[in-house]
Amino acid sequence: MALHLLEDWCKGMNINPRNCLLVTGVPEAFDEGAIEPILRVSTEYLSKCKMRGRMFVREEGAFAVLCELPSAVEPLQVPGTIAVEDGEWTVITTGSQPSPVPAPDVEFLKKMSAFLGKEGKTLADMPGLLGLDPGVPHRESAPSPDEWVKALGQALEKVMPPHPESSPYHKLRLFSGGPTPIPGEEAFEPWLEHTTEMLQEWAVPEAEKRRRLVECLRGPALDVIRTLKLGNPGVKVKDCLEALDHAFGRIEGSDDVYCKFLNARQQKGEKVSAYIQRLEKLLQRAIMRGAVAVGQMDRTRLAQIVRGIQYQNPILLHLRLRERQDNPPSYSQLIKEVREEEERQAAGEVWEEEVTILIANETRRD
């Protein structure tokens, strides 16, 4: 009945019910001028609500108050009740549900609402954004709970990555670091290079990356990580790889590693993309040795590419790499741009080789 009252009241006042809420249970003797201030301080979301009128409800023996917000009401942001000195008031919106929602579902919907808020959307926008029942004409009331559930399910499939346990992945290669290699074990340097690359690509939590790393270790290498975890159970994967590098890698100082990085130049006949990939391995090693800070990684990479690439290379000019050193791109963005430019240049060379120019003499002279 309260929901019908809200809709009918808004229709009579010619205002959008989606922007309004109904507060019921206000005692008859309650000061009318104090209602709006109480609502505004009850929660930050209602700080801009405006009281549009009140009506006595005979069946409840109390007043119902109509309030309007500047934009569509987000039901999950509105409390179901508002505590006052003599009891509590009930808040009704067009998206109010007839039965209480389990607490876990409420928390989930709140998180989803926060996510959509960052994108400038609300839960009420989901059915239309996802093409849910496109043939149904626009309604003044908010989508029903069933429509929300269906819309949210479709949205989650698009915006949330699969759970790490449910998505297949290629296991890391085995490494033990023992005096006698186990079957299938490779040398430490190529193992470290492959493992670092794979861990960077996996879009999973840090704890899952650490679990997968431990999963591929055996013998002395596993003992190194176990010792680290004793002092810090949440040790980062980067620190694990650094400890393994200190234990089994080449004995190089940070200055030596950084010097190799600075001396890396594009070789004759080497593609720019191949040079960047080769340079990235040296940069990662310099970072692990503490020669380069992680926060300076992109800037350091681009500066060396500008120094090490062959002079007047067209890719250097077309992508304006010198001019972008103050705001350098990430590795993935840079390598993508370079490979696309290489493909464009290769296509242009093929076109030039296949063009045939025909010249006809249309004059009377030889």
pLDDT per residue, tens digit, the chain (366 aa), is: 678 888 889 888 888 888 899 999 988 888 888 888 888 888 888 888 899 998 888 888 889 999 999 888 888 788 888 888 778 888 988 865 444 445 556 667 667 777 776 666 666 666 665 555 544 444 445 555 565 666 666 665 555 555 544 455 668 889 998 888 888 888 888 898 888 888 877 878 888 889 999 999 999 999 999 998 888 888 998 889 888 988 888 777 778 888 989 999 998 889 999 999 899 888 888 887 788 888 898 999 999 999 998 767 888 888 988 899 999 999 889 999 999 999 988 887 655 555 567 787 888 787
Domain match, 27 and 72 both: yes
Distance between CA 366 and CA 149 in Å, rounded? Answer: 83
Give the model's pLDDT for residue 98. Answer: 46
The reply to whether 88 falls in a domain is yes
* Same domain flag for 294 and 261: yes
**Is 4 in the same domain as 85?**
yes
What is the token pair recorded at 188?
A: 């430490």
Structural contact between residues 243 and 230, judged by C-beta atoms closer than 8 angstroms:
no
Listed residue (180, 188, 249, 251) closest to 216, CA to CA: 188
Strand (E) or helix (H) holding 206 = helix 206-215
- 11 in a structural domain: yes
Domain count within the chain: 4
Q: Are residues 71 and 135 in the same domain?
A: no
Domain assignment present for 274: yes
- Cα 275 to its chain centre, rounded Å, is 30
Say which amino acid occupies 247: A
d(CA 305, CA 307): 5
Give yes or no: residues 318 and 236 share one domain: no
Last residue of a domain, one of 47, 68, 93: 93
Query: Are residues 150 and 237 located together in one domain of the fold?
Result: no
Model pLDDT, residue 338? 92
Q: Which of 235, 306, 273 is nearest to 227 (CA)?
A: 235
**Cα(151)–Cα(113) distance, rounded to whole angstroms?**
13
Cβ pair 47, 84 in contact under 8 A: no
Interacting residues of 350 by C-beta distance below 8 A, sequence separation 6+: none
Q: Which residues contact 339 (CB under 8 A, 6 or more apart)?
A: 273
> Same domain, yes or no, for 89 and 1?
yes
The reported pTM is 0.40
Residue 66 burial (CB count, 10 A): 21
Closest of 193, 210, 205, 211 to residue 282, by C-alpha? 193
Asked if the structure places residue 352 within a domain, the reply is no
Written as one string, the DSSP assignment of 90-140 is EEEETT--SSPPPHHHHHHHHHHHHHHHHTT--GGGHHHHTTSSTTSPP-S
Polymer length in residues for the chain: 366
The amino acid occupying position 287 is I
* Distances from the Cα of 263 to the Cα of 238, 256, 260, 306, angstroms: 25, 11, 5, 12
Q: How, if at all, do strands 87-93 and 50-57 pair?
A: unpaired
Looking at residue 11, which CATH number applies to its domain? Answer: 3.30.70
Are the CB atoms for 145 and 97 separated by under 8 Å? yes
CA atoms within 13 A on the CB side of 243: 17
The answer to whether the CB of 61 falls within 8 A of the CB of 28 is yes
85/2 same-domain check: yes
Q: Is the distance from CB of 26 to CB of 65 less than 8 angstroms?
A: yes
- Asked whether residue 47 falls in the same domain as residue 117, the answer is no
Q: Can you give the pLDDT at residue 158?
A: 54
Structure tokens at 14: 């010619």
The residue type of 296 is Q
Q: Which domain holds residue 21?
A: 1-93
> Of 93, 125, 149, which closes a domain?
93
Question: What residues have CB less than 8 Å from 292, skipping those under 6 apart?
Answer: 258, 261, 283, 286, 300
Residue 80 lies in a domain: yes
Give, for 92, the enclosing helix (H) or strand (E): strand 87-93
- Both 231 and 271 in a single domain? no
Same domain? For 230 and 286 the reply is no
DSSP 174: P
Q: Which two tokens stand for residue 101?
A: 């929602």
Q: Which of 42, 58, 93 marks a domain boundary?
A: 93
Choose among 170, 182, 171: nearest CA to 219.
182
In a domain? residue 164: no
**The predicted structure's pLDDT at residue 135:** 47
